[in-house]
Each structure stands twice: as structure tokens, then as C-alpha cells.
Amino acid sequence: MGQHLKIGIVCYPTFGGSGVVATELGKALADKGHEIHFITYSQPVRLGSSRKNIRYHEVNVSDYPLFLYPPYELVLASKMVDVAKHEKLDLLHVHYAIPHASAAITAKQVLREEGIHLPVITTLHGTDITLLGKDASFEPVISFAINKSDAVTAVSHSLRLDTYKLFGITSEIEVIPNFVNLKKMNFLEREEMKSEYAPGGERLLVHTSNFRPVKRVVDVIDIFARVRDQIPSRLILVGDGPDRTKAEHRSRELGISDEVIFLGNVKNPSELLPIADIFLLPSESESFGLAALEAMACGVPVISTNTGGIPEMNRHGVTGMMSDVGDVEDMARNAVYLLSDEKRLEKFKKKAKERSAEFSIEKILPRYEALYNLVLETV
Ligand code: GMT
């Protein structure tokens, strides 16, 4: 791939997986010489300070007394038009259908009136399809935006099938899985950090999420409560969100709050992950489970549910273990099975790390570049 492209990337700039994937993709494309223009309402959390080939365009919605609901999508579409025109973008890659795909299609139509063709690539991430998108109040516009995109990708086969099931989709959806940048992951198990959280040499279980109901954080506490009854251990929870209070309450109710550490949001969880022995992901639904892949990349086996796209990454009995949603007994049993045998645990850790290499950015990035080229060739 010789030609360097000018690519607009639109995403949620927050801690969620879709924003992380979009930001890491943009950074990796910039490293390869492409010119990347992030268009978001604030700086993506994973952007960092290196800005070679990277530009950032902030979307500001003015406060006007008439607006009960600020028209973010309109301002975003206008920003896309402006950036595409003046920075001469080759294409726009939008992450998360609502409202990014529909705003992109509006921008595309505006530009067409001016004789400018702007190819739009939409990447579906999960909750935009499985939770929000199927809601009748979004569905017609989301179906339209997906069908009008020049290319559509989904982060797992499971999400691709869900999208066909839930929407009237007439176009092809390509599966391009999420990835990890192994060069930027931290593999060092820092002893001083480990002893800070596990002063008595306890095992460490970690969970990272946005604490939305779909993540079932109370199950995380219930699993841990069963594990710590059998094996001295501590639980670290990374992230924040609506169910944090419920999880805190549950750990107090069970009398284990001294062994549960709520860290809140952490910019780069990979600094902490290598000290973990097990990663817990008991989600109700999960199109991919990027947080688990990042844990695996740091050599941490995953105890998870078998929902959505998780089985496409986690290998039962090899890189971790999977159970039905809500089966906290089984997930606790599996965690104890791994933690109670040092040799077994080490084997799972090694396999988890090896498996993550199948999702390395070196393998996945060329697939996006090939898709960009295909879209540009078919103009
Ligand atoms: O999990 C969330 O609630 C956040 C959401 C997002 O859009 O950031 O995550 C979704 O996209 C991630 C990146 O592709 C996937 O790894 C997550 O599995 C997916 N979440 C769900 O499907 C619940």
C-alpha cells in the first residue's frame, strides 16, 4: 500500500471500546504516514500527546435558549462538511452508528451538491445495534445510514448477524475484529504495584468497564465473594458508570468491601493489567469485549460469559473460561479452578497472550487499509 490518505475519523472520545478502537486505529494509521483528522466533541482519551500526522477538530454546539435538545448531529455533520472540504479528505470513517453514521450520510449528501464525493465507512461496535439501534425511535434512520454507507464493518461475526437480524440491511457487512497494539501494551508485572493492592500476596482479579447495566458489575462482586471464600484474593474495579453505586453497596452488604478496590476511570488500563491473575467479564451482551482482549494481551486469562462476540476471542479451557449469563457460581468455580493451580494458571496466562497476537494491530490495520482502497477504487 503506497498511497497516503487523508482520513477523517469520527468517534466517541470517551473511555468506551468504540472510542478506544477508533483512536488507536487513527494513531496507527498516522504512524504509517496517513493524515488523520479526528472530529469529536472533546479530545479522545487515548489520543496522547504525539501528534505527527494527526489533527483534531472539536465539535462545539452553541447553547441557544430555544434548544431544549442541542442539535449535536447537525453541528457534527456541518463540521464533517467543513473538514472534508478544506482538508481535502479522501474518506470518512465513522465509529458507532448513532449519530455518527447518519451525520456522515448528511455530510456526504451536502458535499455531493457541491460536486465532492466523500466515501463513508461505518464501523458498528455493538450497543449502537444490540441495545439502542433496534429501538423504533432510531431504527429507520440507522438502517438508512448503514445502507447508504460506502462500506460497513462490524467488530465480530456475532454483531454482523445481529445487525442483519435487527435491521433492514441490504448492503454487505465485513467483519474486521478489534485489535491490540502489542508494542504499546505493558507486559511488566510491577512488584511494587502488585504489593500495593495485594500486600499479603493475594491473587488479583480485575474488571474494567463503563459500569452500565449490560456489564453486570454486581455479578463481578458476587463472583469475587465466592472466590475469596476459597482463595485469598482482592478485586480491582476499573471504570465508572451508572451501576457503580449498586456494586459498592453489594460489596458492603457482603462484608467484603475491604477487599474490593474501586479505582474509577484509568486512562491506560494496560499499566495495571499485568499485575492481574484473572480478568472478569460477566456481561449480558458484548459484541466483542475489547477490555478482555487488552487483558489477554497483558497475559491475563478471561473468566467471562459466552455471549455475543466473546467466544470469537476467548477460548474456553485455553485462554480462559466461559459460562452462561448470570451463572456466577460457574464463573466463580472456573476462577478457583485457574487460581488454585499455579502451573495451570501460568499455562492459561501464556495462551491468553499468544491468542491476543492473532488480533494484533499489524494483522488488522491492513484490512482497514484494503477496505479504504477498495472504496476509493469503486468511486
Ligand atoms: O461496552 C460498552 O458499553 C461500550 C461500547 C462502545 O461503543 O464503546 O462497547 C462496544 O464496542 C466495543 C468496541 O468495539 C466492544 O468491544 C464492546 O463489546 C461493545 N459493547 C457491547 O457490545 C456491550
Asked if residue 194 belongs to a domain, the reply is yes
Does 276 share its domain with 367? no
pLDDT of residue 279: 98
Pocket test residue of 288, 296, 314 for ligand 1, highest count of atoms within 8 A of CB: 288
| Same domain assignment for residues 92 and 187 | no
| Same domain flag for 222 and 145 | no
Residue 159: inside a domain = yes
- Mean pLDDT by groups of 10 residues along the chain of 379 residues: 88 87 95 97 85 94 83 96 97 93 97 97 87 77 93 97 90 96 74 88 96 97 98 97 98 98 90 94 96 96 98 98 98 98 97 97 97 92
Phi/psi of residue 168, each to 5°?
Answer: -85, 75
- Same domain as 372, residue 298: no
HSE, CB side, 13 Å, CA atoms: give it for residue 366: 6
pLDDT of residue 188: 65
Q: Which residues sit opposite 122 in a β-bridge? A: 94, 152
C-alpha cell at 362: 499489524
- Name the domain count of the chain: 2
Residue 289: other Cβ atoms inside 10 A? 30
Question: Would 139 be classed as within a structural domain?
Answer: yes
Are both 246 and 369 inside the same structural domain? no
Asked if residue 144 lies in contact with residue 102, where contact means CB atoms within 8 angstroms, the answer is yes
User: Is residue 306 a part of any domain in this protein?
Assistant: yes
Residue 6: closest CA among 48, 46, 34, 38: 34
Ligand 1 atom closest to 290 (CA)? 16
For residue 287, the CA-to-ligand 1 centroid distance in Å is 6
Question: Which pLDDT does position 251 carry in this prediction?
Answer: 98
Q: How far apart are CA 332 and CA 98, in angstroms?
A: 36
Closest residue (by CA) to atom 2 of ligand 1?
16
Range of the domain at 82: 6-179+360-377
Distance of CA 290 from the midpoint of ligand 1 (Å): 7
Ligand 1 mean position, distance from CA 289 (Å) = 7
In a domain, 1, yes or no: no
pLDDT for residue 379: 67
| 165 shares its domain with 202 | no
Same domain, 315 and 286: yes
> Does 234 lie in the same domain as 173?
no
For residues 371 and 41, give the distance between their C-alpha atoms in angstroms, rounded to a whole number. 27
Smallest CA separation from ligand 1 atom 12, residue = 17
Say if residue 99 is preceded by a cis peptide, omega within 30 of 0. Answer: yes
Q: What is the domain-level CATH number for residue 67?
A: 3.40.50.2000
What is the reported pLDDT for 185?
73
| Residues 335 and 365 grouped into a single domain | no
CA distance 106 to 112: 10
Per-residue confidence (pLDDT) for residue 271, from 0 to 100: 86
